[in-house]
Amino acid sequence: MKKRTALITGVFALALCLIAGPAAWGKSVAGVEIPEKVTVQGKELSLVGAGIRTKTIFRVKVYIGALYMENPSRSREEIISSDQVKRMVMHFLYKKVGKEKIIEGWNEGFEKNSRDRMKALKERIGRFNSFFDSDLKRGDEVLLTYIPGTGTEVTIKGEKKGVIEGKDFADALFAIWFGPHPADEDMMEEILAGK
């Protein structure tokens, strides 16, 4: 009787997994499991897509970028300017990225995509950069979560570093990936395609 119950339970569990399909498990990008949903302050965010940030002519894989939104959109403008809970996850793949390189990348991204707002953003960009006080290694994660009325919460390697106030800052930050001069065009296209 116990064997029969165990067999029925096993068959039921297998059937459930097959019916639920890969969405229940999330998706795998470069061997890293990316969940389909995350919860932020009681709100469920859905994965828009994920892509790999590469650098140099050798296409070195630096990190996986995964975008989550409360109300998912594939419109670049909507991703940048929507006043909703949204999160960009950076899961590092490269063996080590120096903090100086990280800060240099942020500064370049802000300058290229938000040049007309740099004066208003300068102090907050400086505070944001100060959170990146150590190198990032393979497996490390950076969570950049915009929460309306609060600001952009920065979590690095599981440690909440602080919050940068202002929707204008969040707009400039998300423009780094989805603005007129994205950090990596291919990664942006992968995210927008829902890969």
pLDDT at 5 over 60: no
Helix (H, G, I), strand (E, B) or coil at 105: helix
Supply the pLDDT for residue 22: 41
Supply the pLDDT for residue 8: 41
Supply the pLDDT for residue 78: 98
* Residue spans per domain, the chain: 23-192
Supply the pLDDT for residue 55: 87
Angstrom distance (rounded) from CA 71 to CA 59: 32
Integer CA distances (angstroms), 138 to 8, 31, 145, 168, in order: 42, 12, 21, 31
Angstrom distance (rounded) from CA 122 to CA 116: 11
Per-residue pLDDT of 17-29, as tens digits, reads: 333 344 445 789 9
Supply the pLDDT for residue 19: 37
Strand partners, 160: 155
Supply the pLDDT for residue 57: 74
Per-residue pLDDT of 52-66, as tens digits, reads: 999 877 789 999 999
Selected from 3.50.70.10, 3.30.9.10, 1.25.10.10, 2.40.30.10, the CATH number assigned to the domain covering 23-192 reads 3.50.70.10
